[in-house]
Homo-oligomer: A and B are copies of this chain.
Amino acid sequence: MARWEPNAPQRLAAAALDLFAEHGYDNTTVLDIAQRAGLAKSSFFRHFQDKRGVLFGEDLVAEPLTAAIAEAPGAATPLEAVARGIDALGQHVFTPEHRAFSIRRRSVIEAHPDLREREALKGVSLTESIAQALARRGVPDLTARVAAELGALALKVAYERWSEADSTQEFSDLARQALSDVRAGISAV
């Protein structure tokens, strides 16, 4: 029996973030990460499939995002429903307390192709989750895919601005601005 390991995924992610920043992704092993987190190597593989997965383990984004899309008023347009989802992230995930961690995480991910690759896959599956959440509201397939791509772009732009080192604005304000910028883009394409 494994002993109880409170917050093991979070501890492993925090340890990995430190080690990737200190020694580089290539020079850090799964064993290093487990040891820094005070856990066994086998604990790592209970929570993550491989080294590149350690910063993407707890998917905090898809669940609240799609839940808020489902709960948006019936009269909301597809993009309004997605806006509710993005707003929920500002309230529950991308909070001010989370910003310093997100800035560090982002710079570590951008520094290594394996992590950028995993991030790309996560982006694709998040966009698919948004499209599926819209489809469950009865939005036709192609419209749902268009709204999902546009919503994912607004989310990405807001996240980029929020995780700039000198940013001080709250995520929800940046998300509203990004959505408005994307809407302006739509009318100009």
Contact = CB atoms under 8 A, between A and B. Distances in A.
Contacts of A153: 145-146, 149
Contacts of A149: 149-150, 152-153
A17 interface: no
Interface stretch (A23-31, A98-106, A118-126): A118-126
Contacts of A184: 142-143
B117 A185 contact: no
- Report the interface size class on chain A: 20 to 34
Contacts of A121: 116-117, 120-121
Interface of A: 77-79, 116-118, 120-121, 123-124, 140, 142-143, 145-147, 149-150, 152-153, 157, 181-182, 184-186, 188-189
